[in-house]
Amino acid sequence: MSDLRTELKQSIIEQLNLEELELADIENDEPLFGDGLGLDSIDALELIVMLEKDYGIKLTNPDHGKEIFASIDKMAEYIEVNRTK
Partner 1 sequence: MKDHRIFRGKDQVFKTEKSLDLDQFLKASYKKLEIEYPKFHKMDGLCKLGIIASEILFKNHSISSETALVFSNSASSLETDKKHQQGMGGIVSPAVFVYTLPNIVLGEISIKHSLQSENVFFIENQFNSELLTDYAEVLLEANKIPAVVCGWIDLKNAEYDVFLCLISKQGEIPLSNENLKQTYLLENE
Partner 2 sequence: MKKIYLLEDAIISPLGFSTEENLNAAKNERSGLRFHKNLRFPEGFCAGIIENELLADAFLKIGEATKFTKLEQMMLLAVSRVLEKNPKIDLSKTALIISTTKGNIDLLKESSIPENRVYLSELGKVIKDFFGFQLEPIVISNACISGGLALAVAKRFISAGKFDQAIVVGGDLVSEFVLSGFQSFQAMSTEPCRPFSINRKGINLGEAAAAILLSSIKPEDPNIISLIGEASANDANHISGPSRTGEGLYKSIQNAMREARISAKEIDYLSAHGTATGYNDEMEAIAFTRSGLENVPMNSFKAYYGHTLGASAILESILTKHSLLNDELYTSLNFDEIGVSKPLNVIGSFEKKELRFALKTASGFGGCNLALVLKKEINE
Residue ranges in contact with partner 1 by CB under 8 A: 16-20, 42-43, 45-46, 49, 52-53
Give the contact letters, 11-50, x = binds to partner 2 (CB under 8 A), - = no: -----------------------------xxx--x--xx-
Whether the CB-CB separation of 65 and 23 falls below 8 Å is answered with no
Give the chain's radius of gyration (CA, Å): 12
Alpha helix (H) ranges present in 16-63? 41-55
CA distance 31 to 85: 26
81 binds, among partner 2, partner 1, none (CB under 5 to 8 A by kind): none
The residues that touch partner 2, with contacts defined as CB under 8 A, are 40-42, 45, 48-49, 62
